[in-house]
Amino acid sequence: MKFIKHIIFGCLLSLFFISAVQSQTITLKCPPCRPIQSCDQCWETQEEADANCNSNSRQSFLGEKTINSMMVFPNPNNGTFTVGNPFKKSGEAVIMNQLGVIVRRFRISGEALFNYQSSDPLPKGVYHLKFTSDKGEDILSQTVIINGQ
């Protein structure tokens, strides 16, 4: 009989903890270096939050952003890839490693298709390509996977 009481008490206790855990809500707490909270992310400035959370952009779960149907293909690639630029925006593109260090910097001058090929190829790895227009708009932010030569 004591065994049954312990089982019933254990079940009731676990139900109490499960309901307590389910009733908690998780809130995002931004660190001091990124104090602005918007679209479930933390930003350094309100302008950055507004630019990244507006309706003209599409943001994936990886934090990648595409505006105006700009894209990188093929992806993954061997270090040579094409940036599709249908609205022929001009600006600067940077490729960063996983630590955020800029490893390549190049200019896109309004071409509809820009072919990237370097005489000094990047090693295999995961990189981040960011394209900013001459007007200061973040146009493309995408992960690029390089499989090597």
Which one has a higher pLDDT value, 133 or 57? 133
Quote the pLDDT of residue 118: 86
Domains in the chain, CATH or no CATH each: 71-146 (2.60.40.10)
Q: Is the peptide bond before 35 cis (omega within 30 degrees of 0)?
A: no
Quote the pLDDT of residue 55: 42
Q: Taking residues 114-138, report their average pLDDT.
A: 90
Measured between its terminal Cα atoms, the distance across the chain in Å is 72
Question: Which residues, at least 6 apart from 6, have a Cβ–Cβ distance to it below 8 Å?
Answer: none
Which one has a higher pLDDT value, 30 or 91? 91
Quote the pLDDT of residue 23: 42
Q: Taking residues 106-125, report their average pLDDT.
A: 91
Residue showing tokens 């931004």: 30
Quote the pLDDT of residue 125: 94
Flag whether the pTM goes above 0.85. Answer: no
